[in-house]
Amino acid sequence: MSSDNGLEMNDYSLKGVFSSFFSRNGDSDKKNQDGKPAVDIPLQGTKYEQLRLKNLIDTVAVSPTAKKILEDAKAAGYTIALQNTKNCYGKCDAVNKVLYLNPSVPNEKLATTLVHEARHAQQHTRGTPNNVLQYDVATELKLRRATEADAQAAALQAALEIRAATKDSSILNAFEKSDRNIVSAVAVPPLSASLEEVCAAQAVNMQAAFKGWFKEKRIIDAYEESYLVKPLKYVYTQMAKDSSFCDKVKMTQSLDSKAITEMVCVAANGRSYFEQTPDILDKTPEMCGMRDETRKVADTFFKARQDLTGAPKDTSYDKLPSRDQNQTNAPSPAKQSLQEKLAQIQQMKEQQSKASARIAANYGR
Ligand SMILES: [Zn+2]
C-alpha cells in the first residue's frame, strides 16, 4: 500500500524469498496466448509481460472468490503491472489505481499475490482509507491488521478454490511455504472436495485464515512499525519544523470492531464473515493491543502535538492491552489450535452437507 503524503507503506514480506528468479515461468506463459483475460482488466507492460499477467488472471479466475475480487478492481478502474517492488511480492497503489506484482516471484506465488493486492483495492473501494494516521490509534491498529489478515484470507480461499477446480496443489503449496500459520489454521479440504464445497465453506475458511494471520508476532510487529510507529515518528520530525504539518494527521475519528469487519471482512454474500462475532478485533492483544515501545512513541507524539497546536491527546489507546506481556494463562498454542481445528471441521461438515443439499436441489433428485 502507498499513500500520497509521503508516508509510504509496503507489504511486508520475507527477505530471501525471491531465490527462484524466473523459475517455472517459461512453460506456463506459452499456453493460452490468444484472447482476452478471464477478467478484462487493462494490463501494462510489454507484450510478454501482458501475456504473463493474462495467464495469472486466467489461473486465479477459476476461483469464484478471486474472480469477483478482480471484477471489483476492474470496476474501480485498476490496472495491473509487473514492477520490481522492493522486498515485496506486490503492492496496491490506490492513488494511481495500479496493482503491482514483482516479476521475480514465481507464478505459483504471484497468483495469490494478485488476489491479495486486488483485495486491497476492494477494501479501498469499500471505504478503507489509503493514507495512514486517519483514525485514532486504537482504530489504526485494528484496521491495518484487519486489512492484511483479510487480504491473506482472501488469497488463501482463492488458493483452495483453484486447487478444487484444477486438482493441482502447486498454488496452495507456494502459499503455504510463505504463510504456514495461515494454512495450518484452516481445515484444508481433501483434494477430492468439489469447487462448490470449497466455495460453500468460504466464510469459515476466511475466518480461520484471518485468525491464523495473527499467530506470527513478527509480522504484526512489522506492520505496527510501518503503519503506525514510522508514520508517527515522521510527522513528529516534520511538525517540529512546520506545525501546520499536524493538519495532515487528524486521528480523531474512531471505528469499532463491528464497523471495521463490516468494511473489510466481506464474504461472498456481501456481509461480514465475522457477522456472528462482530467484536472479534477486541478479543486478543494480538488483534487490539500494542507494543510498549509503540505506546511510548504515541505518547511522545501527542504530547509534542498538544504543546505545539493545543490539539488534545488521543486517549483511544490508554486501555489497550500490551502485546509485550507474557500470556502464561492463555491455553497452549497446540491445544488452542486443536480445539479451533475441531470446531472448524464441525462447521465445515455442516457447510458441506448444506452445499451437497443445494447441489442435489439444483441438479435434480
Ligand atoms: Zn497487503
The pLDDT of residue 343: 64
Q: In this model, does residue 21 exceed pLDDT 70?
A: no
Q: How far is the CA of 271 from the centre of ligand 1 (A)?
A: 21
Cα–ligand 1 centroid distance for 177 (angstroms): 17
Q: What is the pLDDT of residues 81-114, one digit of tens each?
A: 999 988 899 999 999 999 999 999 999 999 999 9
Ligand 1 mean position to 295 CA, how many Å? 24
Q: How many whole angstroms from 142 Cα to the centroid of ligand 1?
A: 14
pLDDT digits (tens, 9 = 90+) for 162-221: 999 999 999 999 999 999 999 999 999 999 999 999 999 999 999 999 999 999 999 999
Q: Ligand 1 centroid vs 86 CA: distance in angstroms? A: 14
Interval between CA 292 and ligand 1 midpoint (Å): 25
Three-state secondary structure call for residue 290: strand
Length of the chain: 365
pLDDT digit string (tens) for 317-363? 999 999 997 544 444 444 455 556 666 666 655 655 554 444 444 33
Q: pLDDT band at residue 244, thresholds of 50, 70 and 90?
A: confident
C-alpha 279 – ligand 1 centre gap (Å): 22
pLDDT for 60 equals: 98
- If we measure between CA atoms, which residue out of 10, 14, 339 comes closest to residue 179? 14
Burial 16-38 (b: 16+ CB within 10 A, else e): ebbeeeeeebeebbeeeeeeebb
> How many angstroms is it from 11 CA to the middle of ligand 1?
5
Q: Give residue 151 CA to ligand 1 midpoint distance, Å.
A: 6
Using the mean position of ligand 1's atoms as its centre, give its distance from the Cα of residue 308 in Å.
34
Query: Tens of pLDDT along 141-170?
Result: 999 999 999 999 999 999 999 999 999 999
The predicted model gives 117-126 an average pLDDT of 97
Mean pLDDT, the chain, as a whole number? 85
CA of 76 to the centre of ligand 1 (A): 18
CA of 263 to the centre of ligand 1 (A): 16
Q: How far is the CA of 117 from the centre of ligand 1 (A)?
A: 6
Q: Which of 61, 69, 127 is nearest to 94 (CA)?
A: 127
Where are any strands of DSSP class E within the chain?
79-82, 90-93, 98-101
| In 173-330, beta strands by DSSP E | none
| Cα–Cα distance for residue pair 251/148, rounded to 1 Å | 20
Q: How far is the CA of 120 from the centre of ligand 1 (A)?
A: 7
Check residue 348 and give its pLDDT.
Answer: 59
Please indicate, yes or no, whether the overall pTM of this predicted structure exceeds 0.85.
Answer: no
Question: What is the Å distance from ligand 1's center to 149 Cα?
Answer: 8
pLDDT for 14: 32
What pLDDT sits at residue 78?
98
- 220 or 27, higher pLDDT: 220
Taking the centre of ligand 1 as the mean of its atom positions, its distance from the CA of residue 90, in whole angstroms, is 8
